[in-house]
Structure 1
Amino acid sequence: MTVIQYCREKTNVGELVIIREGGWVTCAAFIDHEDLFRLPPSIAKAEVIGEECGRIRLANRAGGFEDAPCIYLDI
């Protein structure tokens, strides 16, 4: 299954998808209610070789940090 297929078929509204290549974060997509997101063509067409649920640390508006749930896809 390709990354674009996974994002369209296996995710839910409001999920954050982090794409890793060789263990390095290369791209991210936030799934909205209309499936409006863009991925670079080379990543969109890449095969998913692994997936896991996790958390990623993000900056918040208060100047601090918080952990957000996400799905990691390995390509």
Structure 2
Amino acid sequence: MTVIEYCREKTEVHELVIIREGGWLTCVAYIDCEDLFRLPPNIAHADVIDSSCDHIKVLDHQGTYVSVPCTCLDIK
């Protein structure tokens, strides 16, 4: 399954998807209410080799780090 297929078929509205290659964060997609999101073509068509649920630390508007749930996709 490719990244674009995974994001269209297996994610929910308002889900944050982290895409990693070789363990490094490569791209992030936020799934909005109309299933619209953009991905670079080379990432969109990459094969997903693993997926997992995780959390990522994000800096909020007050300068505080918060833990945000996300889905992590590992690609080839």
Specify if TM > 0.5: yes
Q: In structure 1, what is the Cα distance between the partners aligned to 2:36 and 2:51?
A: 21
Deviation at 1:31, TM superposition (A): 0.4
Is residue 28 of structure 2 the alignment partner of residue 45 of structure 1? Answer: no
Q: Secondary structure at the match of 2:35?
A: coil
Cα deviation, 1:37-67, whole Å, max 9, x if unaligned, reads 1000000000000000000000001111100
RMSD: 0.4
TM-score, scaled relative to structure 1: 0.98
Moved over 3 A (4+): none
Q: Secondary structure at the match of 1:49?
A: strand
> Share of identical aligned residues, percent?
63
Q: In structure 1, what is the Cα distance between the partners aligned to 2:29 and 2:73?
A: 11
Look up the match of 2:61: 61
- Runs (5+) with no aligned partner, structure 1: none
Look up the match of 2:73: 73
TM-score, scaled relative to structure 2: 0.97
